[in-house]
Amino acid sequence: MTLPRIAFIIGSTRPDRVGPAVAEWAFDLAGRRDDAAYDLIDLAHVGLPLLDEPEPAAARHYVHDHTRRWSRLIEEYDGYVFVSPEYNRGVSAALKNAIDFLYTEWNDKAAGLICYGSSGGLRAGEALKATLGEVQIATVRAQVSLSIYDDMVDFAEMAPRDYQAGNLDAMLTQLTRWAGALKPLRA
């Protein structure tokens, strides 16, 4: 049996963002596990414009090369870890846009969430769960919620409280199980 492929997706594209530091902390810890193959995707390097496909994503009639590249990339994975900031009580526009570009490629896969912000990114996590449910991604219960006050130094350098590594481990364990369990639905 092949290991599930899981992509960490950095959901912020703005300059001087903390998303890469959050993702690298989690990605490094995930790399110590042997239950999945993990990759890192940074939306800042994907190059998606504001949604510009003329047909709904469910039709899968993409006319732009950037959409076809994004489709091929996302289709490779069995599950995702969305690393999401909380902007104005929701997810970043870049992350929502990246999800909205596709539909079928997300279906019957699993996701875990790492959210961060002044309130631990909890409101962004709830908004993200609603969006992911609509594209038929099953989100796992365990979640990492990082406070920019208590899990970072100067709102940028990672200094997560001790229990956050356990939260990450629990989320990744649930995610790899769900990713493996959902794979037959896509066969």
- Tens-place pLDDT, residues 1-36: 699 999 999 999 999 999 999 999 999 999 999 999
End-to-end CA separation in angstroms for the chain: 14
| Tens-place pLDDT, residues 117-160 | 999 999 999 999 999 999 999 999 999 999 999 999 998 899 99
| CA 98 remoteness from chain centre | 10
Write out the DSSP string of 70-102: HHHHHHT-SEEEEEEE-BTTB--HHHHHHHHT-
Boundaries of every domain in the chain: 5-181
Q: Which residue has the tokens 């629990």?
A: 170
For domain 5-181, which architecture applies? 3-Layer(aba) Sandwich (3.40)
Token pair for residue 80?
């995702």
- Give the predicted TM-score (pTM) of the model: 0.97
Model pLDDT, residue 69: 98
Name the residue among 94, 104, 116, 89 with its Cα closest to residue 43: 94
